[in-house]
Every structure is written in structure tokens, then in C-alpha cells.
Amino acid sequence: MITTPILALEGVSRRYAQGVTALQEVTLQIAPGVSVALRGPSGCGKSTLLHMLCGLDRPSAGRALFNGTQPASAGAWARIRAARIGFVFQAFHLLPMLNAMENVQIPMLGIERNARSRRRRAETLLERVGLAARACHRPGQLSGGECQRVAIARSLANKPDVILADEPTGNLDSQTSAAILGLLADIHKSDGVTLVMATHDATISSFAQRTIHMLDGRLLVLPSAEAVISCTC
Ligand SMILES: Nc1ncnc2c1ncn2[C@@H]1O[C@H](COP(=O)(O)OP(=O)(O)O)[C@@H](O)[C@H]1O
Ligand SMILES: [Mg+2]
């Protein structure tokens, strides 16, 4: 049976005005439900690739597809991101004046109209990431690991099909990192969510089913710069 990739890039390049080529003709298909580590040194293009996968940035050449179709506009990508893609950042990007409960509810605002449903879901998600007791704490009152747990709960707010995590443990010590990666792997397994994690750290790869290596804006899959990640891995 042929499965439509949930995420795909076809010959995607990204050149910046200053003459930097961040991605060079990257072709990649990620089947629904797999977990993938995107590994390579700083500056090799990992963040750029993640941004291409979710329409946060546009290719200079080639195209990005979600679930087999090319979204027609930046607005179409924004709707897909809001409803179907969760993003986890290295620096958490929580709003400092809001507590954990409120941060988790932010993505739901345009999607779930019922305030009580939003609160209930946020409570469930904070419980899921082990932070029920910290629901009323603001980011400044939480540790780095706890902030990342809130950010992971936020990424799950709208029951996404995909989580993209950009160096999710880059600001954390090794013990906390292992706990965060374990949490992401657990979410991948139990929810069947597609997980793509960018990292320069070798240890993170062991938490993913597949590792894609990158260097200088290319995927290191020989003989061609192409990787097909099937759902059977
Ligand atoms: N907005 C930008 N303008 C110019 N160059 C950029 C910009 N963003 C990234 N780059 C360059 O593109 C390359 C890839 O960057 P990035 O995708 O952030 O790599 P990584 O996430 O692997 O560290 C780097 O050389 C970086 O300096
Ligand atoms: Mg990066």
C-alpha cells in the first residue's frame, strides 16, 4: 500500500539575499506516524528545513507539501500549522506574563470557542507532561525542563498530526534532556503523532526511529540527496 507522506519537500533550495545557500535541492518524504531525528552541525540548515516543512519559510526553488498537496498561500500554511502542527523551540518561547495553564491554551484560542473546554484540555495536557501542580506558575517561576514541558503541552493543544522540535533539549542539562526526549518519544508512541526533531546532539538520535544526517544544506543520503522515510521503519 502506498502511504501519502504527511510532510514532503521536492527539490527545495533556500538562498538568502546575502548569498548564503541554507538548503540545496532537498527532497524528503516523511510518512505519517514516524519519528525522525534531523542531525547535523550548527549552521547546516536544520532549522531552515523544519521551517520549510511547515511553511514558516518559503523555498527559493522547489516545493513543500503537506499531506500530499501544496498549500496555496501563506494563509493556508498558517491554518495547517494552527490545527495540525505543533512546534517546540529550543528557547521554549513561552509568554512570560502568562502562567502555564494560559500558555498551553494560546493555540486553542482561534480553534476551540468554549473557554471551559480550553481550560479542561490544558489541565489534561499539563497533567500529561507531569506539571499539574505547576499550572498557575509563570515561566519565570519554572525550571528550564518545566518550561519545555509546558511548551510540549502547548504543542499538543490542538491534537496535532505532527510535532516539529528544533533543538528541544539545547538549553537543558543532560538528565533533564533525557526526560524531555523520553516524553516526546512517549507522545509519539501513544498518540501516533509524526515527530521530527532537529539536533546537533548524537544522543537525541537514539530517541527517534530514523536519523537523517545533514551537512552544508544537503541530506547525506547517497547516492542522491534523497530520503524516503517509510511508515514501516
Ligand atoms: N535569515 C537569514 N539570513 C541569512 N542567512 C541565514 C538566515 N537564517 C539562516 N541563515 C544561514 O543559513 C545557514 C543554515 O542556518 P540554520 O538553518 O539556522 O542552521 P542550523 O539550524 O542547522 O544551525 C547558516 O549558514 C545560517 O547562517
Ligand atoms: Mg537551528
Please check the confidence at residue 162 and state whether its pLDDT lies above 50. yes
Q: What is residue 229's three-state secondary structure?
A: strand
Angle, alpha carbons 52-53-56 (nearest 5°):
50
All residues at 6 or more sequence positions from 143 whose CB lies less than 8 Å from its CB, including other chains: 176
CATH for the 7-229 domain, from 3.90.180.10, 1.10.150.450, 3.40.50.720, 3.40.50.300: 3.40.50.300
Please check the confidence at residue 224 and state whether its pLDDT lies above 50. no
Q: Is the CB of 18 under 6 A from ligand 1?
A: yes
Which H helix or E strand runs over 77?
helix 74-84
Please check the confidence at residue 193 and state whether its pLDDT lies above 90. yes
| pLDDT for res 1 | 55
CB atoms within 10 A of CB 2: 5
> 7 falls in which pLDDT band (50, 70, 90)?
very high
Q: Is the CB of 104 under 6 A from ligand 1?
A: no
Q: Any idea where the domains of the chain sit in the sequence?
A: 7-229
Among the ranges given (165-169, 206-210, 212-216, 222-226), the one the predictor scored with the smallest mean pLDDT: 222-226
CA distances from 227 to 35, 43, 230 (A): 14, 20, 9
Query: From CA 182, how far away is CA 210, in angstroms rounded?
Result: 16
Q: Please state the atom number of ligand 1 nearest to the C-alpha of residue 41.
A: 22
Neighbours of ion ligand 2 (CB under 5 A): 46-47
Best of 14, 15, 20 for a ligand 1 pocket test (most atoms within 8 Å of beta carbon):
20
Best of 14, 16, 24, 164 for a ligand 1 pocket test (most atoms within 8 Å of beta carbon):
16
**pTM, 2 dp:** 0.92
